[in-house]
Structure 1
């Protein structure tokens, strides 16, 4: 008995030694190519329609809450709410959480997989079963109880498991960057919509001012007709101009309501419970935005960071495909007790087995080579997409610089046109009142003045939206340092078995929305310009 125990001890020691040796060798060989960031050559003094230039980032560079530069408390309130409660943004946060869990799943393969088992059964066979001889005295009833444990572990000789884990970590980092892209997109869309709505308010003020002026013109033509000074056609022309302008204003209000509904959805509010009080003019300040070095631009764009992480992930996939050409070694062991009663703890009732297995592919018809070649192709594809994203980033910046510069000039030119058209309108009306011209000249001057004023407001609105798009093109204050590192990606501790419903925040992504996300009514804040919608039905 003691000899058997000694042999068992020696076997266990041998197995433990093999496991320790494998642990020492595991992960020694990394078959993934050495990864390097792609570096591109940029022209001396970046040329284009805009004014992009080399220079260190200045105080004018966008910060995290970039919308505060427009000095609008209501916009600040809406942006803050959208950043917390927008459903599309919360869905993107859950995508990041799922990527973190996939990373934890991949990392779990590095550890031994330990399981336990227990069972009991009662078994009875027929006394007249096949091959039971006449007069046999063997038992027809037997009970069995057993319990035991098993362990299985695959040493990571070729870093296949580690590369899978790193792939998932890089996928999670890409998901965090995608979340930043979604957040910036929602923030910029909200700011664009809000500025469009304020532009509509300013257009409404222009229409109202013109309607009051045209109403006076109708009265003048009616008085002149009553005095037999003017023909009835003048009254008709004046009334036509008034009614057409009123119709244009009504159409504008319909479009404003639709825009208001879009804003309500962005801030997780039912449109029926949301209304923004109108104003009479555009009050946003002009913002001077620093561009900086091309290299810093790439660090501040979350879509570029996502494309780069996807490229790094594809690089690790090459290592996984290469590892498939080498032997896969697995160690396993099982031990336990079995008896037909409750004396399971006796050595005589023990059972065990342990094994080591190595599998080496010899011939698979080119399957492994096809997988490796596909991995290289996917890496080059990711590299091409990264370059395309970089080019798109510079295009966005150049577009923003060109638009902000040209629209600023255009706004000044429209301002001069408005001044001239208003002078013409007033002088023409004075001439008509004095009987020195016909009313057709008045109508032409009125149309020109209204067109110029509406065009000026539209250009100012487009200018503010171009500023928003330039800030978005520059990353909106985000930078690659906000990506979670590998330690932060793990959503729970190794021995954590509670509080798993909501993971701890990482990379600025928090999925704990609370009960507020279920409330689709925004509280009325008249001081900030939010009220209950008017009853239009």
Structure 2
């Protein structure tokens, strides 16, 4: 219909459209750039778990395969498939995406349909009723549609949507962090359980040795070449070792229950066969360079996305200082019977626009803006704290892996010496060249050395798992959903995309 406009009207209309387009592209959020931090060129703690290539990174995928234990692989797979805490965390991401859909919906026109019918009667003696004023009883039928739209002149809706998108990305990183934490916890529990199995094997060997020593003391006592004190000392050693072994079995049972829950199984029907540490290999772990850690840790990505969300919130707060403009339209038909509901003379319509500008609200808008700026600064502080904590964890695990390698070598030397002393002390006692107190001391030292050796090996495996967790477990920011992927569905689609919603069991 524009051909009927005069040139001035066309120019004015085009100018208005250009102005609306410019305003619609306006955003009052500050420009956002990811934070920059001064990072070292290399880690202070370098050791046997870092490959020679400083650019090497832990490969993506199932990191637990590096330990070469099929049972651990099966348990970790069960955790990812059935752990209820992990599944609950994943639902938070589904909900965060739906919040994106809710925020984004406000950028579209809102269309609704309505239909109504009523039968109405007025009093014959109502106030100011004129004689012959018409019927007192009449029906009313109607239907129509309503359209409303809030032009996003100041970017409030876009910034609300951007806030929701960044928050959804932060939630996805939180889920990845929770998954990695559970995986590391399961690996630690599994390694601790295998360590207890190895300790149990040590006790079984020790109990056999102690039983043999007790027989020797009894024979010597029967031959009146040893005192009864020797028998009691030997019995005490044997009984104490039996009690300690019973405690080991109790600890193992508790760990087995914890592993069952992590794997999403019922502890009452779950069991793991006894097997020592021999099935677990200590892997070589590439830690990469410090600057890459920012892209490998999901908790760092979560903090960064929370900063981006708070930056968008500043734009929302600033938009509140400007007019809120809404456009609306209504159209329909109304009659007192069905027959005339579709006739043009019974049509009705209205078109309107409204604008509201805050003039004085006692500092409300200013307070909201300052609050949003403070929230952004707080998010930046949290980001810096998260990065520092991440570097601390990497350095801690590198220090542990270095120390435990040396400690294991030293402990092996101590074990060999203690076993030699134990055998020598028992031979001297058997030949009547020493008393049983020396045997007792040697036995205690040998058992302690064997248990300490197993415990160091267990800690080595756990430190390796901890280092894997500290460098991100093979995760990277490339695994984060893009801004577009946080949109849950197409607003004109009336069905869920596959995998959008997990139905409750």
TM-score range, shorter chain: over 0.9
Q: Distance in 2 between matches of 1:414 and 1:64?
A: 35
Tell me if 1:166 matches 2:162: yes
Aligned equivalent of 1:219: 215
Name the CA distance, whole Å, in 2 between partners of 1:345 and 1:270: 65
Structure 1's 255 and 78: CA in aligned 2 closer, same or farther, altered over 3 A?
same
With normalisation by structure 2, the TM-score equals 0.93
Deviation track 1:461-506 (CA, whole Å, cap 9, x = no partner) reads: 1111011010000000000001111221122222221247x743xx
Match of 2:345 in 1: 348
Q: Is the 8 A contact 1:54 1:293 kept in 2?
A: no
- 1:46-445 to structure 2, matched below 5 A, reads 46-47=43-44, 56-58=54-56, 61-132=58-129, 136=132, 138-342=134-338, 343-445=340-442
> For the residues of structure 1 that align with 2:114 and 2:289, how far apart are their CA atoms?
62
- Per-residue displacement from partner, 1:370-397 (whole Å, max 9, x unpaired)? 1111111111100000000000010010
Asked if 1:34 corresponds to 2:31, the answer is yes
Quote how far apart the aligned CAs of 1:282 are: 3.4
Distance in structure 1 (CA, Å) of the matches to 2:478 and 2:264:
29
Contact in 2 for aligned 1:62/1:471 (Cα 8 Å): no
Shift of 1:47: 3.5
- Judging changes above 3 Å, is the alpha-carbon distance between structure 1 residues 143 and 385 closer, same or farther for their aligned structure 2 residues? same
Deviation of 1:345 (Å): 1.8
Deviation at 1:22, TM superposition (A): 6.9
Over residues 173-226 of structure 1, what are the superposed CA-to-partner deviations in whole Å (9 max), with x where a residue is unaligned?
A: 000000000100010000000000000000000011000000001111111111
Q: Deviations over 1:118-175 (max 9, x none)?
A: 1000112343445546x75631210000111111111111111101101100000000
1:101 to partner: Cα distance: 0.2
Unaligned runs of 5+ in 2: 5-9
Alignment equivalent of 1:495, drawn from 467, 492, 496:
492
Structure 1 residues 41 and 137, CA gap change in structure 2 (3 angstroms): closer
Q: CA deviation at 1:286?
A: 1.9
1:31–1:50 distance in 2 versus 1, CA, 3 Å: farther
Alpha-carbon separation, structure 2, partners of 1:332 and 1:101: 26
Is this contact kept in 2: 1:85–1:513, CA < 8 A? no
More off after superposition, 19-28 vs 285-294: 19-28
Partner of 1:458: 455
1:437 and 1:181, CA in 2 relative to 1: closer, same or farther beyond 3 A? same
Q: Which residue of 1 is the match for residue 469 of structure 2?
A: 472
> Distance between the aligned counterparts of 2:15 and 2:235, measured in 1?
99
8 Å Cα contact 2:147/2:329 also seen in 1: yes
Correspondence for 1:533: none
- Contact kept, 8 Å, 2:394 with 2:467, in 1: the verdict is yes
Residue aligned with 2:142, SS: strand
1:525 aligned residue? none
Q: 2:199 & 2:39 partners in 1: Cα distance?
A: 43
1:20-63 alpha-carbon deviations (Å, 9 max, x no partner):
667623432111111111111124544369798996432x6243
Would the aligned equivalents of 1:301 and 1:479 in 2 still touch at CA under 8 Å?
yes
If the length of structure 1 is used for normalisation, what is the TM-score?
0.88
Deviations 1:220-239 (A, max 9, x none): 11111111111111110000
Shift in Å, 1:446: 0.2
Q: Distance in 2 between matches of 1:20 and 1:62?
A: 53
Determine helix, strand or coil for the equivalent of 1:282.
helix
Q: Residues 54, 132 of structure 1: CA spacing in aligned structure 2 closer, same or farther, 3 A cutoff?
A: farther
Change (3 A) 1:77 1:241: same
Aligned residues: 494
Q: Secondary structure at the match of 1:275?
A: coil
Please say if residues 328 and 359 of structure 1, whose CA atoms lie closer than 8 Å, have aligned partners that are also in contact: yes
